[in-house]
Chain A
Amino acid sequence: MALIPYLMALVSIATLLLNKARFAIYLLAAQYVFAFLLALPVLQIRSLIARLLGGFLVGVILYSSERRFTEGKSFLQTPSLPRSFWFRFLTALIVFIVAWAFANQTQSFTSSAGKNIFLGSTFIMCLGSLMLGLYQSPMEAAVGMLTLLIGFDLFYGGIEPSLAIVVLMISIQLIISLATSYIMSIRHQAHAQEDGRA
């Protein structure tokens, strides 16, 4: 169980470094499973199953959108410094170290949430924020936002176990994935029209 927070961090770093849309969706699905396992000893099983099912739906929506509307199978990228592999590696490493130090030094936050949960949620919230800082395409932004929300939900679920907040969080994640899918479909249609004109 103590390894799961580090696995979550590793998965987030892999999402950043691989820079492939389809892999990012697989890795996001893995984050949902890790979050489920990590919270199993602390949260109610019914709310965890609801979160996992919500995550499954999010993954299906993003995967089907990626299959239908993406041709390059990778996020948009340029060879400039903020998008290069080594830049992303170094920033991910720095963020990982900062998150690790913060999670281990902050004692007051761990009163109602387990230490592992806090560590895991801190890792993926920080790395999700980094993804958002570097995003160039709607899909990339969605993966960053969903990673951030998984981390926050993991942390917040421990301190506010109400069913209403579970439903709201799942709804927000689903709407983010639907909105991303919608944006991708509109962009795809616009590109198709441009190609048709050309």
Chain B
Amino acid sequence: MSAPLVLVVASFATASLAFIFRNQRTVSSLIAASGATFLAGFILFAPLDEAFTLLGFSIRFENSWIVLGRELILGTAIRPMIAFLYLTGLFLLSGSWLAVKNRFFPTIAMLMLITVAGSIMVEPFLFASAFIGLAAVGSVLLLVSQEYPSSVGAVRLMVLYTFAMLSILLGGWMIETGTGIGTSAEGGVSAATVIGFGFAILMAIPPFHIWLTAGVQESNSFIVAFVTVILQAAGFFLLLRFMDAFTWLREDLTFHAGLRIISIATMVLASFWAFSARDLRKVFSYAIVADMGVIVLALSHASPAGARIALALFGARVFGIAILALGLCVVQLHKRDWRGAGRRQPVAALAILVGLLSLAGFPLTAGFPGRWALLSLEFARDAYILISILLAMIISALLVLRWAAILFDPTIAHEQDQESPSQQAYLLIGIGSLVLLGIAPQILVPWVVEVTGGLPHLFPLIP
């Protein structure tokens, strides 16, 4: 039996089951979350390419599946990446019934997960961008709904990801044929530029974040969070695999210098934009963009340590984004006015603030250890990098103070509590997870070690 085939069939089966129960949102969400848990377990623990006995049956899972002349491989190298996707799915799907009215969300989310997993499994991995493009276009069905009929962000997403897909396929062809790689300095720049353009779109680096800022204002925040985390994860893992596979890209100083400048600009600009925004949903989108800037900055260090920090930051951001999005949804379910919302829904408002603090890298939250480690890298001795990181953190801290004052405005009369116990429980678990990851970041270390173990060229020092 082929493990990738099991993954595809089980994902489709879960999606079908979620579709059958689409009118019972809680059941549908729990089915999808259970499916994601089972599949994450299968990906992490199923023995591949060796026979074992289960309930008296001898079973052997092959790690590859050939489809239409191309291979899907569930190799050791990529198992933690795919497991990350499904575990993210587990966390977000298990909370979706509290925030999302779109009854097709669990079904489409599962289909998105397997499509993005396909992008990680496909060999040669240059075809990954086509799978990511497919997932991005499919996500339009989530972003636009009867409740949220506006489609500006969704159409932008579709257009931008189409461009990203084309540029990565083209860049891949340039690399494969030697048209524009490190053999000539001029050629190397051209291939890196084409690929860089694609990755900038995949990771919503400004100005390619415009779908996110539009989408978050006209769609459900929780759905936007899911789409963003999954698509950015696909782009981030693909970038890591590109850097692992191509020495010239890994060692190209111009490429890393470009990454550094872009990441600093992203971080600082997005922080300022967030500070000037009057709508908390826009603040949410800019906080995601600024956080991505920090991750790319870590990656630009061009060292195993930098890439490890980028991975840790990436793993930690899911909880912050999820509870921030759920907090926004809970507040918006009842009233669209932010002022005084914290007095009506205190846990939701607290989740929003803690989520923002985590994305800003405030101490005792999940985003802090990664930033602290980043400051310990030698390139942080460059004044402009140090100032940029600190500036972004300070602006974000001020931003949180400002929004705390707005959300808990004492001049607004206190109203009856409108949060359900389930919403409060989920939000408190999320806040607890953020604090736990802030205090004990080593929880993420096994996952980071697993991922880095699968990228031997990018992380040569890992045993």
Selected from B138, B151, B155, the residue in CB contact (under 8 A) with A186 is B151
Report the minimum CB–CB distance from A53 to chain B (whole Å): 16
Main secondary structure of the interface of A (DSSP, over half): helix
Task: Check if B159 sits within 8 Å of A132, measured CB to CB.
Answer: yes
A156 within 8 A of B: yes
Task: Check if B158 sits within 8 Å of A159, measured CB to CB.
Answer: no
Interface centre among A138, A159, A163, A179 (most CB of B within 10 A): A179
- What does the 1/0 interface line of A99-111 toward B look like (CB < 8 Å)? 0000000001101
- How many A-B residue pairs have C-beta atoms within 8 angstroms? Tell me: 86
- What does the 1/0 interface line of A167-198 toward B look like (CB < 8 Å)? 11101100110010011001101100000000
Interface centre among B67, B130, B145, B149 (most CB of A within 10 A): B149
Chain A residues with CB under 8 Å of B70's CB are 162, 164
Task: Check if B137 sits within 8 Å of A165, measured CB to CB.
Answer: no
Task: Check if B127 sits within 8 Å of A141, measured CB to CB.
Answer: no
Chain A residues with CB under 8 Å of B141's CB are 179, 182
Report the minimum CB–CB distance from B138 to chain A (whole Å): 6
Selected from B69, B133, B140, the residue in CB contact (under 8 A) with A163 is B69
Q: Which of A140-167 contact B (CB under 8 A)?
A: 141, 144-145, 148-149, 152, 156, 159-160, 162-165, 167
Report the minimum CB–CB distance from B202 to chain A (whole Å): 15
Chain A residues with CB under 8 Å of B159's CB are 132, 135, 141, 144-145
Report the minimum CB–CB distance from A44 to chain B (whole Å): 12
Task: Check if B149 sits within 8 Å of A190, measured CB to CB.
Answer: yes
Q: Which of B44-99 contact A (CB under 8 A)?
A: 67-70
Known: A132-B159, A148-B162, A169-B130. A182 touches B140 (CB 8 A): yes
* A interface bracket (residues with beta carbon within 8 Å of B): 20 to 34
Report the minimum CB–CB distance from A103 to chain B (whole Å): 15
How far, in whole Å, are A135 and B155 apart by their CA atoms in the complex?
Answer: 10
Report the minimum CB–CB distance from B70 to chain A (whole Å): 4
Give the nearest-CB partner of A111 in chain B. B177
Chain A residues with CB under 8 Å of B424's CB are none
Task: Check if B68 sits within 8 Å of A186, measured CB to CB.
Answer: no
Chain B residues with CB under 8 Å of A172's CB are 130, 133-134, 137, 162, 165
How far, in whole Å, are A165 and B144 apart by their CA atoms in the complex?
Answer: 28
Give the nearest-CB partner of A162 in chain B. B69
B248 within 8 A of A: no
Known: A132-B159, A175-B137. A162 touches B68 (CB 8 A): yes
Q: Would you mind naming 27 contact pairs between A and B with Cβ atoms under 8 Å apart?
A: A108-B179, A111-B177, A112-B177, A132-B159, A135-B155, A135-B159, A145-B158, A145-B162, A149-B162, A149-B166, A152-B169, A152-B170, A163-B69, A164-B67, A164-B127, A165-B127, A168-B130, A172-B130, A175-B134, A176-B158, A179-B137, A179-B141, A183-B155, A186-B145, A186-B146, A187-B149, A189-B149
Residues of chain A having any CB pair with chain B under 8 Å = 108-109, 111-112, 132, 135, 138, 141, 144-145, 148-149, 152, 156, 159-160, 162-165, 167-169, 171-172, 175-176, 179, 182-183, 186-187, 189-190
Residues of chain B having any CB pair with chain A under 8 Å = 67-70, 127, 130-131, 133-134, 137-138, 140-141, 144-146, 149, 151, 154-155, 158-159, 162, 165-166, 169-170, 173, 177, 179
Q: Which 6 A/B pairs are nearest by Cβ-Cβ distance?
A: A190-B149, A164-B70, A179-B140, A164-B68, A168-B130, A163-B68
